[in-house]
Amino acid sequence: MQVYYDELITAKNEKITVAKEAVWLYEKFGEGVYTDVLGLCKVATIAEIEEKGWSLTPGAYVGVAPVEDDGVDFEERMAEIHRELLSLQAESNELMDIISKNMEEMGV
């Protein structure tokens, strides 16, 4: 029964992924007309390709998509993550000490 349920969930997730991809494609090319999309695709002319030494590396042409501001202050978030990491490391050290003491008590 669990295997059947897992298969249903997997199939549902795959359909959701396909639907999300279709929405994304429609947002980019909904009118059915090709347009260059920064960071995704670009039609390069022979002159542009020759100018780049005949390199067909996509990154040389498509560029990088602009990053949307998520409203999070990077430095503040990194400081927060660092504090959390230090706290987790301290907790890990305490747990390692407890485990070591327990092992000693068991004679291992």
The whole-number pLDDT of residue 19 equals 93
What average pLDDT does range 3-29 have in this prediction? 86
pTM exceeds 0.75, yes or no: no
Pair 48, 63: CB distance under 8 Å: no
Q: How many residues does the chain have?
A: 108
Which pair of structure tokens corresponds to residue 67?
């990053």
Under DSSP, the state recorded for 74 is H
What proportion of the chain, given as a percentage, has pLDDT over 90?
53
* 43-96 pLDDT tens trace: 999 999 999 999 999 888 998 877 788 888 999 999 999 999 999 999 999 999
What proportion of the chain, given as a percentage, has pLDDT over 70?
99
| Ramachandran assignment for 65, one of left (phi > 0), alpha (psi -120 to 50 degrees), beta (any other) | beta
Q: Which residues contact 65 (CB under 8 A, 6 or more apart)?
A: 37, 38, 39, 40
